[in-house]
Amino acid sequence: MIHLLTIVGARPQIIKAAAFTRAINSWNCSRLFQNEQITQTILHTGQHFDNNMSASFFAELDIPAPAIHLGVGGLPASEQVARMIMGIADELSRNKYDGVVLFGDTNSTLAGAIAAAQAHVPVFHIEAGLRSWNRTMPEEINRIVADSISSVLFTPTSQATQNLLAEGVPSKENAILPLPHVSDSSKDDATPHRPYSVQVGDVMYDNALHFSRMAEKRSHILEQLCLTDCPFVLATIHRPVNADNMAHLTSIIGALETIAKEQRVILPLHPRTKSHLSPQMLGQLTANDHILLIEPVSFLDMIMLEKHASLILTDSGGVQKEAFFYGKPCVILRKETEWTEIVHAGAAILAGADKLRIIEAYTLLKNKQVHPANLYGDGLASEHIVKEISRFFSSRS
Ligand code: UDP
């Protein structure tokens, strides 16, 4: 029996946990009476805490409720990370876990990596190896630290695998396990293994395939927003690089106002962004009949908006890929991206927060046909991850 502690905290991690949970369930079902079962305990740091950013996703996406909730949302970043590390360390000292599973690049990822390393528990990092090469982004620091601590680094793309290789992390086929200089006397659970990467594909692509049809059946968002016969673009803004920067926010909103003269703009507003908008900006947006400011939507509703939008503007890592999965052109509201493949494929343009560049990118892409290509795996990334975690432990026993 392998017992994992899975750490979530922010919305995209909860969504990724859905794919991982499905894969664990199907692994266990196919090994009912064997000693290879995998159990997971979910720890929620509380980084995102609004119902529509967290709790509602567990029910909708069929994820077991977290067994531990640290409730550290709303604190300043450093205090939040410190409390997360303490809470996760406490759980790791109370109960025995064989491994800690982390997703992506948030403060919860960072805290989980540090707490697990201090407790000498192997770390499995899902969505490893991504680099934007911009170290002013907190997400970049979080992913670099998490990757440097992880035992197995599950990469979504060949670019991510290459990035790790350049940093000295070999892919599994080229790794020598365990470290050659370790003496026999130290052969116990803590025997160091050389960290290695395994390219498994993207768990969000698994989710796109799994939830797409379900969204068509269950979501009524298009009818609710009267969008069934009305062309629209979808926009999201939440990265600190934009949400915490008034000049960037003003410029992006200016671009959306221009685009809204041509077609409707749907903007599900992230709480971080909302908290930074001045009352004047909020008033101006609400008064614009062509911009629909809405609360964050459920994942199934978001899928429907993505599938039926004519184009997507976003600074989100997840949303820019989902645009590609659903064949939609995308204006990326950042100067760089970790998901370079979609830019190289001509499906997305990096426009940053510059109003004119955003409008120019929109004009270039608005009639573009995006042909989904097989860049993110075979839709079974989570299954490959679960299989590899099992192999990791069997190679140590
Ligand atoms: N998402 C959602 N509802 C929304 C906005 C986004 O369900 O109102 C989903 C989106 O489909 C994607 C994920 O949240 O799967 C992306 O999360 P976010 O943009 O917060 O973070 P990032 O991907 O940039 O880490």
Q: What would the pLDDT profile of 298-321 be if each residue is shown by its tens digit? A: 999 999 999 999 999 999 999 999
Omega of the bond leading into 180 within 30 degrees of 0 (cis)? no
308-366 tens-digit pLDDT: 999 999 999 999 999 999 999 999 999 999 999 999 999 999 999 999 999 999 999 99
pTM score, two decimals?
Answer: 0.94
Residue having the nearest C-alpha atom to atom 17 of ligand 1: 12
Q: pLDDT band for 178, please (50, 70, 90 cuts).
A: low
Distance, CA 17 to ligand 1 centroid (Å)? 13
pLDDT at 53: 84
Residue with tokens 């403060």: 107
Residue having the nearest C-alpha atom to atom 2 of ligand 1: 299
Q: Are 129 and 164 in contact (CB under 8 A)?
A: yes
Q: Could you give the C-alpha distances from 187 to 98, 101, 113, 151, in angstroms and in order?
A: 16, 24, 23, 17
Task: Tell me the CATH number at 220.
Answer: 3.40.50.2000
- Three-state SS at 199: strand
Which residues make Cβ contacts (< 8 Å) with residue 150, sequence separation at least 6?
Answer: 102, 113, 123, 124, 125, 128, 195
Most confident of 24-38, 49-63, 380-394: 380-394
Q: Active-site residue 3, yes or no? A: no
Q: pLDDT band for 181, please (50, 70, 90 cuts).
A: low
Evaluate if residue 71 carries a pLDDT over 50: yes
Q: How far apart are CA 33 and CA 58, in angstroms?
A: 28
Closest atom, ligand 1, to C-alpha of 295:
8
Q: Which of 44, 48, 125, 238 is catalytic?
A: 238
Q: How far apart are CA 129 and CA 147, in angstroms?
A: 7
Q: Is the CB of 375 under 6 A from ligand 1?
A: no
* pLDDT > 90 fraction of the chain, expressed in percent and rounded: 87
Residue 385 lies in a domain: yes
| Same domain, residue pair 348 and 389 | no
| Same domain, residue pair 20 and 90 | yes
| Same domain, residue pair 34 and 128 | yes
Residue, of 199 and 173, whose pLDDT is higher: 199
160 token code pair: 């991510």
Full domain range(s) for residue 187: 2-202+377-396
Nearest to 241 by CA among 316, 162, 165: 316
- The least confident of 42-56, 95-109, 143-157 is 42-56
Q: Which of 207, 239, 269, 302 is the best mutation target for the ligand 1 pocket, counting ligand atoms within 8 Å of the beta carbon and taking the most?
A: 302
pLDDT at 357: 98
| Same domain, residue pair 269 and 129 | no
Q: How many residues does the chain have?
A: 397
Q: pLDDT band for 43, please (50, 70, 90 cuts).
A: very high
Helix (H) or strand (E) holding 76: none
Evaluate if residue 49 carries a pLDDT over 80: yes
Residue 40 phi/psi, 5° resolution?
-130, 140
Residue 372 lies in a domain: no
Evaluate if residue 118 carries a pLDDT over 90: yes
Q: Is the CB of 9 under 6 A from ligand 1?
A: no
pLDDT at 396: 76
| Same domain, residue pair 130 and 237 | no
Sign of CA dihedral 268, 270, 271, 273: negative
Q: pLDDT band for 183, please (50, 70, 90 cuts).
A: very low
Alpha-carbon Rg for the chain in angstroms: 21
360 token code pair: 């120019």
pLDDT at 179: 56
Evaluate if residue 140 carries a pLDDT over 70: yes
| Same domain, residue pair 251 and 348 | yes
Strand order in the sheet with 68-69: 68-69, 38-44, 2-8, 99-103, 123-126, 152-155, 196-199
Evaluate if residue 150 carries a pLDDT over 70: yes
Rounded average pLDDT over 229-251: 96
| Same domain, residue pair 191 and 221 | no
Evaluate if residue 212 carries a pLDDT over 50: yes
What integer best gives the mean pLDDT of the chain? 93
Distance, CA 176 to ligand 1 centroid (Å)? 37
| Same domain, residue pair 192 and 244 | no
Residue having the nearest C-alpha atom to atom 14 of ligand 1: 12
- Would you call 261 exposed, middle or buried from its count of C-beta atoms within 10 A (0-12, 13-18, 19+)? exposed
- C-alpha dihedral over 355, 358, 360, 366, to 10 degrees? -140
| Same domain, residue pair 225 and 276 | yes
Q: Is the CB of 12 under 6 A from ligand 1?
A: yes
Residue 370 lies in a domain: no
Domain count, the chain: 2
pLDDT at 207: 98
Residue having the nearest C-alpha atom to atom 9 of ligand 1: 299
| Same domain, residue pair 68 and 170 | yes
